[in-house]
A and B are shown apart, each in its own frame.
Chain A
């Protein structure tokens, strides 16, 4: 009798835990929707949410001017914030699992620095890695360099004796290398070009366009089922590589597949908006605290939290000083660094105990 009672108790506890997790996901989704609408409503001209709803359902309900402001200016920015936040956070979450390091994300692994260098090549020398891409020159260069860096990380993980701590050191090495190359580019650049490089590096959502949004959305739509299919092996990886292998997971292959997937996500995100650090760190970190590391909940919630963080950042960037939109990269770094430090401190504690 006690055994049956135990079994029922355990199952109930598990069901209750999962119910809480669905609730968490629903709450964060609700906050995201709210933040998204506030983001669209906020700007040099502030509109009530009801007006924004009207323009959504019927673009011309409040005149052509409002249709242009909402549909052509603010909506692409607000959607880009949500999309890029989700892309960066999913990339960060998966990198942390694959590399077994809670500090791994596109920024700390040097992917953003590489993208900045790629962008500067385009801005200063007009050099294109892939010929005849026209106006997308800067974005494509940034994408290619980000992808090459991910490829290098993939290669580095295959090297013998490269542990999870070493990966972050590799990231720092990549970061410094590209920073130096970037400084070289700035040295060669004209005043106008320097301004463009610096602006690119600070991260901005104003480069939003419907083409980029569709591409990003398509990638995210492909990445989510791709990740969900691998949730059980990825969760197993969290309790140790050898243990996962002993359970039948082909860890080597899983790593390669997932790194290729997240490389595309990370490279796309940074090439769209420039350097936006720490979203890939903050999103997964908060998601982990809310729902744990069953990847069925962890990955979708990471995406939602990342989207929420960047959407709020977009809102904050317009609200500090009326009429000025601050670069989002500055704001995410200011939010992200305390989280970064708290992760370092908490991992240290775990190792000491």
Chain B
């Protein structure tokens, strides 16, 4: 499965935020990191791909299917968008909250295979011990993992993750990213994640797309993109790309003198 984004323009009201964004041939099973400073249009791009924002122009296609104006519910079957995390106080268990994500597109009655699917997803993300906990009582890291579960339980072809590791400690950052990678190895969905941490992006992504002011500045493998002078300019810092002793990429950034 391949995701194509062609000449996409989108925004809110009359304000255009994305100007002519094109990202060609994002392959299933590849992890694409969307990087760029705050307010560069990352969330708007995801919302447009997920059908929450109607594009002003351009085309979105999954494989050969044009999904640009696909109705929201039909789109939700194919594209799963995980918004930036925030707490909630609903009296629902983790199991129920994942089940309800699945039930939005699978009919009213809870069938046996729905329950299987939820159990499998929770097992795959190592969340089974939390299944009957209330979602309001979870820690930040646990809540984020549950949000990932709500996203992948639907077995979408395209997964869009908006800052999946924000506000998490190092252990939870790595475990979330690893879980997503494992899911990709299993089901081969297209995965795009908006990431702020460039070193995390370098570690997990196969391809990076740099967005600034609604325009794509660069697109390519991490070792090329992170070495570009545009990185420093975009984030208004000075950067050097180094390799650690273990061969991992490391972006050394500091404020300009």
Which of the 9-residue segments A170-178, A206-214, A232-240 touches chain B?
A: A232-240
- CB < 8 Å A-B pair total: 106
| Cβ–Cβ < 8 Å partners of B88 in chain A | 238-240, 243
- Scan B139-158; emit 1 where CB is below 8 A from any A CB, else 0: 00000000100100010000
B119 touches A236 (CB 8 A): no
Given A17-B93, A232-B103, are A239 and B135 neighbors across the interface (CB < 8 Å)?
yes
Q: Which of A10, A248, A288, A292 contacts B105 (CB 8 A)?
A: A248
Q: In the complex, what's the smallest C-beta–C-beta distance from B220 to chain A, in angstroms?
A: 29
| Cβ–Cβ < 8 Å partners of A248 in chain B | 72-73, 75-77, 104-105
B104 touches A239 (CB 8 A): no
How far apart sit A119 and B235, CA to CA, in the bound complex (Å)?
64
| Cβ–Cβ < 8 Å partners of A229 in chain B | 108
How far apart sit A323 and B119, CA to CA, in the bound complex (Å)?
60
| Cβ–Cβ < 8 Å partners of A9 in chain B | 128, 131
A238 touches B104 (CB 8 A): no
B108 touches A246 (CB 8 A): no
| Cβ–Cβ < 8 Å partners of B253 in chain A | none
Q: In the complex, what's the smallest C-beta–C-beta distance from A328 to chain B, in angstroms?
A: 29
Q: Which of A233, A240, A347 contacts B104 (CB 8 A)?
A: A233
A293 touches B136 (CB 8 A): no
A246 touches B83 (CB 8 A): yes
- Scan B74-109; emit 1 where CB is below 8 A from any A CB, else 0: 011100111100101111110111011101110010
Q: Which of A14, A233, A238, A347 contacts B115 (CB 8 A)?
A: A14
Q: Which of B82, B92, B104, B115 contacts A11 (CB 8 A)?
A: B115
B97 touches A7 (CB 8 A): no
For the complex, is A50 an interface residue (Cβ under 8 Å from B)? no
Given A10-B122, A246-B52, A248-B73, are A292 and B93 neighbors across the interface (CB < 8 Å)?
yes
Given A10-B95, A235-B92, A292-B93, are A247 and B104 neighbors across the interface (CB < 8 Å)?
yes
B123 touches A3 (CB 8 A): yes
Q: In the complex, what's the smallest C-beta–C-beta distance from B33 to chain A, in angstroms?
A: 20
How far apart sit A235 and B88, CA to CA, in the bound complex (Å)?
12
For the complex, is A6 an interface residue (Cβ under 8 Å from B)? yes
Q: In the complex, what's the smallest C-beta–C-beta distance from B10 to chain A, in angstroms?
A: 16
| Cβ–Cβ < 8 Å partners of B96 in chain A | 14, 235, 292, 294
| Cβ–Cβ < 8 Å partners of A293 in chain B | 90-92
For the complex, is A242 an interface residue (Cβ under 8 Å from B)? yes
For the complex, is B190 an interface residue (Cβ under 8 Å from A)? no
* A-B residue pairs in contact (CB < 8 Å), sample of 6: A10-B118, A11-B116, A233-B104, A239-B90, A248-B105, A350-B136
- Chain B residues close to A by CB (< 8 Å): 50, 52, 72-73, 75-77, 80-83, 86, 88-93, 95-97, 99-101, 103-105, 108, 115-116, 118-120, 122-123, 128, 131-132, 135-136, 147, 150, 154
- Chain A residues close to B by CB (< 8 Å): 3, 6-7, 9-11, 13-14, 17, 229, 231-233, 235-236, 238-240, 242-243, 245-250, 288-289, 292-294, 347, 350
Which 6 residue pairs across A and B have the least CB separation, nearest first?
A248-B76, A7-B119, A238-B90, A6-B128, A246-B81, A292-B91
